Amino acid sequence: MYHSHRMELFACRASEDFAHKVISHLNALTPDNDNPLHLGELVTTPFSDGEFQPQFEESVRGATVFILQSTIPPADNLMELLLAIDAAKRASADKVIAVMPYFGWARQDRKDRPRVAIGAKLVANLLRAAGADRVMTCDLHADQIQGFFDIPVDHIYASKVFIPYILNRNFENLAIAAPDMGGAKRANSYAKALQTPVIICHKTRERANVVGSITAIGDVEGKNVIIVDDMIDTAGTLCMAAKVLKDKGAQSVRACATHGLLSGSAISRIHDSQLEEVFITDSIPHPELANDPKIRIVSMTEVFAKIIHKVYNYESISSDFIF
């Protein structure tokens, strides 16, 4: 069964390269199509005071509109997405689907201290208020964030690309490690899929982005360890965990994380660490890492294209999820 409304795909400024690749994969899924998809023209006009205004340069009336944007810092990227959703709704789009390879503010998913905001819930409310009918995203910091939404959420997992990538590398004596207790579930899922043992790193924090100490629990001696996580921010935890694992006898330590925020001195910290390689996805653009000696980028664009294609055509997407 195919959708009665045409598909239109646009990208805000932070995810234009990602969107171009998604379009290529979408057109490959329908090779006999006489009217190949193109990336719609969405122009964002800046004002001198920092304000900006997105405008669709083509009609979206009656269309199913997919708007791609990772809400990485700064907050402008979220605001641009919200304004684009609002513009599409006011231009009489039939449905507006926010495609967010990286969902910012996902770490603020609970009140873990007095008098703090729950940022993930606020962003969910803002997307709904702007007019989004559906959200598509990848590796939320916590699965329960899906429950913050009153609209459907397609939660895609990077394991769809990372598991085959790791298997193709044919690592011997492989072990999967969680960088902290919060990542134990994810590490266990990877270990189950790869049939490897699990190592858990227990860390204490002095304050946000500052790690106090880390200890490793599990059989590390002689193992080629891959630390799995949902994101790398300052890389402080990751590099400290790599050192602890090497000190305990690991043969090699690598890392695999969906979202490479890589803020501050994260890249130089990774280069100076005992990590042999770091695998990230292209959910956040890093053109400067194209030829990096340590950091490898694994693309999620084909996975997103397949999910967009199936959602648009009302097809089941359950078979496209690993965990």
How many CB atoms neighbour CB 274 within 10 A? 16
Alpha-carbon distance of 217 to 234, in angstroms, equals: 23
Exposed / middle / buried, residue 1 (Cβ in 10 Å: 0-12, 13-18, 19+): exposed
Q: Is 203 a catalytic residue?
A: yes
Q: What is the 3-state secondary structure (H, E, C) of the chain?
A: CCCCCCEEEEECHHHHHHHHHHHHHHHHHCCCCCCCCCECCEEEEECCCCCEEEEECCCCCCCEEEEECCCCCCCHHHHHHHHHHHHHHHCCCCEEEEEECCCCCCCCCCCCCCCCCCHHHHHHHHHHHHCCCEEEEECCCCHHHHHHCCCCEEEECCHHHHHHHHHHHCCCCEEEEECCHHHHHHHHHHHHHHCCCEEEEEEEEEECCEEEEEEEECCCCCCEEEEEEEEECCCHHHHHHHHHHHHCCCCEEEEEEEEECCCCCHHHHHHCCCCCEEEEECCCCCHHHCCCCCEEEECCHHHHHHHHHHHHCCCCCHHHCCC
Spatial contact of 218 and 241, defined as CB atoms under 8 Å apart: no
Tokens encoding 176: 């999967």
Alpha-carbon distance of 277 to 204, in angstroms, equals: 25
CA distances from 118 to 75, 105, 136, 295 (A): 16, 9, 20, 32
pLDDT digit string (tens) for the chain, length 323 residues: 455 689 999 999 999 999 999 999 999 998 767 789 999 999 999 999 999 999 999 999 999 999 999 999 889 999 999 999 999 999 999 999 999 999 999 999 999 899 999 999 999 999 999 999 999 999 999 999 999 999 999 999 999 999 999 999 999 999 999 988 888 999 999 999 999 999 999 877 666 656 567 888 899 999 999 999 999 999 998 999 999 999 999 999 999 999 999 999 999 999 999 999 999 999 999 999 999 999 999 999 999 999 999 999 999 998 777 66
Spatial contact of 197 and 221, defined as CB atoms under 8 Å apart: no
Alpha-carbon distance of 231 to 102, in angstroms, equals: 10
Q: From the candidates 89, 160, 203, 223, give the one annotated as an active-site residue.
A: 203
Residue 4 C-alpha from the chain's centroid: 30
pLDDT in tens, 267-300: 999 999 999 999 999 999 999 999 999 999 999 9
